């Protein structure tokens, strides 16, 4: 596995994962998929890391699958057993992941972005699912995640025409959280991730878990999940710290336990 295909930085409470195949437009090959899975394992296991950012090195966030690998008969290597395509799209995660996107994020690049929790992108970013133009199917989650993110009508248009979805339109439809000039994307993503990491990490993870099921369960089921989440938190140190810090008029000191 090539450790250099995704760079990994730990910056206080944040982990930063950078796709690092600029010569291949950061296309996903087997090394990328395996490295992504290993780094997400590290991120999830490290109690000192409370939020993460996924970005790309070079002018393209990710061009999707490495077609040279597919042509060579290595298409299966682009997925992992636990993470699916790119080691990410079907990954079971507890902690938040913010996508910081400059340049285009097409095909599998859009699917990686949709697998993240929040998206910050450049004002000239293009999303899109051009698979149908090549008699292919976007099989890494976009066919169900895009309708959830932007609504059925615009999602079907993007899926069936294969035409690009510009950053501003993606923002207007609710897929993207921030659209900023290219040079501000990383700073904006870091600020967003830091605003998450300033909160109680166990509460963030528990809240995320319930929210991610919003389109899958009925209200009664999700209410029970919410009550279980607060019940589990009630025995933690951070649960006591929040009200105590409020009463004492000081910033809380979260321990993640």
Catalytic residue among 111, 194, 216, 248: 111
Cα first-last separation, the chain: 34
Of 37, 69, 131, 188, the catalytic one is 131
Residue 69 appears among annotated catalytic residues: no
Sign of CA dihedral 190, 195, 199, 204: negative
| Residue 166, helix vs strand vs coil | strand
How many Å apart are CA 96 and CA 98, to the nearest integer? 7
| Cα distance between residue 36 and residue 102, in whole Å | 19
Beta-bridge mates of residue 53: 16, 98
Virtual CA dihedral for 82, 88, 90, 91, nearest 10 degrees? 60
In the annotation, is 131 catalytic? yes
Number of DSSP helices (H) and strands (E) in the chain, helices first: 10, 11
Positions marked catalytic? 111, 131
């Amino acid at each position: 596995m090539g450790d250099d295909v995704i760079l990994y930085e730990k910056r206080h409470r944040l982990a930063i994962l950078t796709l690092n195949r600029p010569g291949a437009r950061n296309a996903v090959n087997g090394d990328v998929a395996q490295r992504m899975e290993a780094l997400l394992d590290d991120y999830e296991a490290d109690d000192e890391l409370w939020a993460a950012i996924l970005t790309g090195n070079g002018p393209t966030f990710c061009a999707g699958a490495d077609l040279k690998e597919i042509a060579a008969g290595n298409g299966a290597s682009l997925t992992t057993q636990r993470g699916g395509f790119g080691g990410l799209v079907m990954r079971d995660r507890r902690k938040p992941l913010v996508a910081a996107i400059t340049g285009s994020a097409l095909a599998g690049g859009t699917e990686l972005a949709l697998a993240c929790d929040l998206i910050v992108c450049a004002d000239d970013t293009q999303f899109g699912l051009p698979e149908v133009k090549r008699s292919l199917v976007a099989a890494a989650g976009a066919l169900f995640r895009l309708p959830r993110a932007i609504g059925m009508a615009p999602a079907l248009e993007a899926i069936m025409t294969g035409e690009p979805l510009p950053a501003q339109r993606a923002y207007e439809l609710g897929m993207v959280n921030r659209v900023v000039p290219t040079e501000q994307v990383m700073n904006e993503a870091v600020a967003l991730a830091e605003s998450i990491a300033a909160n109680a990490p166990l509460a963030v993870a528990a809240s995320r878990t319930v929210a991610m099921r919003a389109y899958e369960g009925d209200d009664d089921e999700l209410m029970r999940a919410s009550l279980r989440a607060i019940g589990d938190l009630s025995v933690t140190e951070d649960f006591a710290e929040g009200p105590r810090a409020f009463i004492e008029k000081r910033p809380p000191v979260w321990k993640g336990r």
